[in-house]
Structure 1
Amino acid sequence: MRLHRNLVFATVDSLHLIFNKEKQADKVLRNTLKRDKRWGSRDRSFIAETTYDIVRWKRLYAEIAEVKEPFDRENLFRLFTVWATLNGIKLPDWPQFEGTPTRRIKGRFDSYKDIRKIRESIPDWLDEVGLAELGVQWEKELAALNQLADVVLRVNTLATDKDSLQRSLQEEEIDTEAIKGLPHALRLKERQNVFVTEAFKKGWFEVQDASSQRVAQFLDPAPGMRVIDACAGAGGKSLHIAALMENKGQVIALDIYDHKLKELKRRAKRNGAHNIETRIIDSTKVIKKLKESADKVLIDAPCSGLGVLKRNPDTKWKLQPEFLDAIRKTQAELLTSYATMVKKGGQLVYATCSILPSENQKQVAAFLQKEEGAKFTVTKEDIILPSVSGFDGFYMALLQKED
């Protein structure tokens, strides 16, 4: 592989914003990739994948390069040098790469093989939390979460079917394959920009990880029901629920952020999902008005996001112990408050994209001990581990309310 100066510099600029200015990686890359209209898909892939790779392995690369944060420009180039050397890429004769100690880099890499927190590139405190909660399983999950995430599409059955979508993408030289056990999922055989396709413009699919697609299936909504998506965000799961309900019945999408609900409205229009109503939670009255009104309620709770480090590797550097404590408290409050919207005989699904039992099974167990929780029983749960599924880590529990 021959390195191009403008692509390497764009990568280093992106790393500066992510590491030193604490900007979100996906937003940084969205802006970086708009910088030069002459860049083709291969150029854009190089910048995005290299940036994410260095973010993912920040701790390991920094230890090898013997640099500490905040990283100045010289240090960022040293991180890039480590990445290139470990990936067998010949460095060009540029001033930034003068005197690269190739053999020393490889030697230092080998020396960290037995130190998990450095080898798997994870902060000390987070490694301790994972080990305390998951024991020996933590090591397997870390290794799986450091793999690059697949691109998975969800077929929008309100607009098309799986075969038609596959054919449409094939015409634009995008090859996909089905995923066992997921009727509406297609995995890309190689990473490509699917947002410029005709099929996307027509609302034929959404990009949604395989594990995330399991949540609406687990909720199992039926046409004609009233379903509440209580933490809807930009609405990936609301859209899936609407499709499973065949646009019949009502999906009420709630969130505390108005801008996310506006994005959901835009996506719903493109999807042809007409049975979604958005409501902003701007006071406790919103929840009280919906008391015992829903056949099904989904609480896709805010969480640490540890199950989705494959696609959001910068999360592990931004997480703090205080946030984890605060988010567990929020999860408990949401479960107690939002469970009141389930009608007698109705069902509640509590889900997170975390792999920590303290955010999952333990939250549900604690809820069942409370006055509101005493009306529910757990009928099934699904623990999706990245090391087993190959996809994001998720947890979901289905709770049945007594008649």
Structure 2
Amino acid sequence: MEQKIAYEVLLAYFKDGSYLNITLNKALKADMDRHMKNRITRIVYGTLQNALLLEFHLKKFVKKVKVSEKTILLMGLYEHFFMKRPDYAIVDELVTLARQEKGARTASFINAVLRHAFLEEINFEGLSEDEVLALRTSHPLWLVKMFKKQYGQDVTIQILEADNAIPLRSGRVNTLVISRDELIKEDPRFKRGFLSEDGVLFEGGNIASTDAFKEGKVTVQDESSQLVARLLSPEKGSEVLDMCGAPGSKTTHLAALMENTGHIDVYDLYAHKEQLIQSNLKRLHVTNVTTHTADSTKLAKMLQKQYDAILLDGPCSGLGVLARKPEIKYHDSSVMDEIIPIQANLLENAYYLLKNGGKMVYSTCTLNKKENEKQIERFICHHEDMERIEEHTILPYQYHSDGFYMCLMRKK
């Protein structure tokens, strides 16, 4: 049962590039016990997190393989090398799965390949230091070299290893409704977070299935992400703009910090994402936000007003959230080249929409300095009346959180 569900989720990804988290969430039924959900999740994410390493080992035993067969084989190799289950149990379960899905011939093939592959250790002989690091942590070589250039060898190794760790179940207390101490007292499965004063860690499965979530007392949000709204720290009664708001985590945090006073305009490019923001506003009892569907790269021409504070949580390459979204590391590096000009355009719009004396935060969930520090350097170079007040990069291994960049600026 568990193997079959994990197989179906991974196969959908390998065949069609489906969104892994969405497919997995649909597959995890409400009536499943927590142990089963955890094991399926671990097989799915662990197999994909380590896919380059597992494929490297697999190529020694089979040159050409169908995607359905490859999916089963990678699952088996992951369980062998990382879950340390008895080999006979892994082979027996996956051969049974192969027989059910593809027939006796495929089952025989899976049996032979796994038994041979389990007998040998992974051999990196003849590879360079960077190639070994890339394979051992299943990151593309270009990404390893980029991180080494930007952060150095030691920090890069810690980043890559953190990307393959199991992420914490993090949430943010909705202070419009309850304090963190009150929530923890109500439900002891919540514990104080490591990083954010609004952050909690959950030890009971899925936060979204709790009564506290349904009642709007808590929402799912990584702790490093929670630092962004607090860095902007909008005044009560102020006019605030959130330029790229979906799904509304930071928007609703801004509203909580403002205690539902003042007004927040939040924009997103897609109508279905605006609906998602509206759903979160309702659940979290937020009343000072107006949602809009529009292209924020054109906002300066569309709007006739300026704001006291602006949050620009920009689109990015996502290289800080690889533990939660391992499929991102297999994207082509050209994604960054396409997104950097969009970020610059959004920053220009933010500049013209910000009042003199106003403050803004630019943030991303990537660790690529070209999208972060370098982007801000260029922006301030073009606008000498913008001053950098605070700048932070949270690396994923520091607090077992997502990697995040954020910069607070003020318009003189």
* TM-score, L = length of structure 1: 0.90
Residues of 2 paired with 1:298 and 1:38: CA distance? 40
The code of the aligned residue for 2:21 comes to: D
The code of the aligned residue for 2:3 comes to: V
Shift of 1:102: 7.1
Match in the other structure for 1:176: 190
Residues of 1 paired with 2:16 and 2:176: CA distance? 42
SS at match of 2:408: strand
1:16 to 11, 29, 35: 11
Match in the other structure for 2:169: 151
Match in the other structure for 1:210: 223
2:94 is the alignment partner of 1:81: no
Residues of 2 paired with 1:27 and 1:285: CA distance? 30
Residues of 2 paired with 1:109 and 1:118: CA distance? 11
Match in the other structure for 1:194: 207
Matches within 5 A, 1:157-168: 157-168=175-186
Q: Is the 8 A contact 1:134 1:356 kept in 2?
A: no
Query: What stretches of structure 1 of length at least 5 have no aligned partner?
Result: 1-5
Match in the other structure for 2:254: 241
Residues of 1 paired with 2:163 and 2:297: CA distance? 37
The code of the aligned residue for 1:186 comes to: V
Once the two structures are superposed, what CA deviation does each residue of 1:35-60 show, in whole Å capped at 9, x if it has no partner?
A: xx653222222212210110111111
Match in the other structure for 1:376: 386
Identity of aligned residues (%): 30
Match in the other structure for 1:3: none
The code of the aligned residue for 1:316 comes to: K
Shift of 1:107: 1.2
Shift of 1:312: 0.7
SS at match of 2:358: strand
Matches within 5 A, 1:313-328: 313-317=326-330, 319-328=331-340
Matches within 5 A, 1:2-401: 6-34=1-29, 39-66=32-59, 71-86=66-81, 87-90=83-86, 91-92=88-89, 93-94=92-93, 95=95, 96=107, 98-99=111-112, 100-101=114-115, 104=118, 107-108=121-122, 115-136=132-153, 137-170=155-188, 175-188=189-202, 190=203, 192-282=205-295, 286-290=299-303, 293-317=306-330, 319-370=331-382, 373-401=383-411
The code of the aligned residue for 2:133 comes to: R
Distance 1:134 1:71, change over 3 A: farther
* TM-score, L = length of structure 2: 0.88
Once superposed, what is the RMSD of the aligned Cα atoms?
A: 2.2
Residues of 2 paired with 1:330 and 1:134: CA distance? 25
Aligned length: 387
Shift of 1:214: 0.4
Shift of 1:147: 1.1
Q: Is the 8 A contact 2:234 2:257 kept in 1?
A: yes
SS at match of 2:166: coil
Residues of 2 paired with 1:69 and 1:205: CA distance? 48
The code of the aligned residue for 2:183 comes to: L
Residues of 1 paired with 2:23 and 2:128: CA distance? 31
Shift of 1:355: 0.8
The range that moved more, 220-229 or 137-146, is 137-146
Once the two structures are superposed, what CA deviation does each residue of 1:17-40 show, in whole Å capped at 9, x if it has no partner?
A: 111211110111122224xx6532
Shift of 1:339: 1.7
The range that moved more, 49-58 or 89-98, is 89-98
Q: Is the 8 A contact 2:229 2:254 kept in 1?
A: yes
The range that moved more, 85-94 or 147-156, is 85-94
